[in-house]
Amino acid sequence: MTPEEALARAEEAGIHRLRIPTPFAVGRVNCYLLEGEPLTLVDAGPNSGKALDELEQQLAGLGHAIDDLGLIVVTHQHIDHFGLVDIVASRAGAEVAAIDVVAPFLERYDSDAEREDEFAVELMIRYGIPEELVVPLRAVSRAFRGWGAPVNVTRGLADGETLDIGDRSLEVQLRPGHSPSDTLFWDADRRILICADHLIGHISSNPLLARPLDASNQAPQQRHGSASLRSASRDRPRSLMRYLESLRRTRELPAEVLLPGHGDPITDHVTLIDERFAMHLRRAEKLRRLIAERPRTAYELAQELWGNVAVTQAFLTLSEVVGHVDLLIAEGFVREVSDGDLVRFEATGAGGEVTIPG
């Protein structure tokens, strides 16, 4: 099945792709309009006038307006997906549904985004990013923050529950990894999976370092305090390991069409997931060899792999390295060694092959 045929099949099932512009390198974000009662929009794009204009135009092309919407569903906590949700929901008088674990973050986006930044700063310092890079990274994050906006979630969704839209029943599936709140919507009757950024055909979904969602009610910690730096690295979710487990679960679904958050539909998720597993194993093995040469910080490892990347990419590459080192630690090949507020990774000398856990 070609991507065009997959889109046609989705449209026959009453699912229409809307490609909304973003200011980010990833390009346009896919939102999905689901026909039925209530008329449902899955994600809405970033908080910008251009995105809102295009959303209205693309809805009009399908014979609808924002006022027709009865429900907006949020797939996860990234601003290119939820930034416009509250504006659209307020105009439409629509309900907003999101997985229950992310609702507090969405509702308190302004304050929780600040806490996310503090958490990220602590991790960057702990894992060796120089202070002169941390400052501009923080500035970039603050500049991006306006593309998001707080969301009034009126319906919390539980993992495994059913969301009924007209004659379709969508199973809600929490698949953390790319973010702690990645949520999939599985139409078993039609074998169509709305997977957002959990799986994307043309690029690998970065399992990003993130603050635990259950920390939403905790006060932000004092930046640069030694205890704070240590707790940031200790308490963070092991994003890549969670992501690999989530991919294993998705691999078992008898899906025929997957509708991602960016790019074209996916029609062979098993092969794609196997390719991603192999890619992660190759990267973990390369890091294992580098660490065997001498202990290194995560930042030093990132430089070995990618050199001096643009400041906007530094946190992404750090997330990549730390995620794969987590895998090596879990398999017993590497250990984390603290040197004051700094963490380095050293080899344990254990033999064997790196494997995907589970």
Domain with CATH 1.10.10.10 in the chain: 283-347
- In one letter, which amino acid is 166? G
pLDDT at 91 over 60: yes
pLDDT reported for residue 341: 86
Domain with CATH 3.60.15.10 in the chain: 3-274
Q: In degrees, to the nearest 5, what angle opens at C-alpha 193 toward C-alphas 214 and 38?
A: 80
Q: How far apart are CA 137 and CA 124, in angstroms?
A: 10
Alpha-helix residue ranges (DSSP H) falling in 100-225: 103-107, 109-126, 131-144
pLDDT at 51 over 90: yes
Q: What is the pLDDT of residues 54-71, one digit of tens each?
A: 999 999 999 999 999 999
Q: What is the pLDDT of residues 164-210, one digit of tens each?
A: 999 999 999 999 999 999 999 999 999 999 999 999 999 999 899 98
Where does 283-347 sit in CATH, by number?
1.10.10.10
Asked if 174 contacts 159 with a C-beta cutoff of 8 angstroms, the reply is yes
Domain spanning 3-274, CATH class: alpha beta
**What is the band of 139 on the pLDDT scale with cuts at 50, 70, 90?**
confident
pLDDT reported for residue 215: 57
Average pLDDT over residues 236-252: 95
Q: What is the pLDDT of residues 102-137, one digit of tens each?
A: 999 999 999 999 898 899 889 999 999 988 888 888
- pTM score, whole prediction: 0.92
**What is the band of 217 on the pLDDT scale with cuts at 50, 70, 90?**
very low
DSSP letter at 318? H
pLDDT reported for residue 219: 44
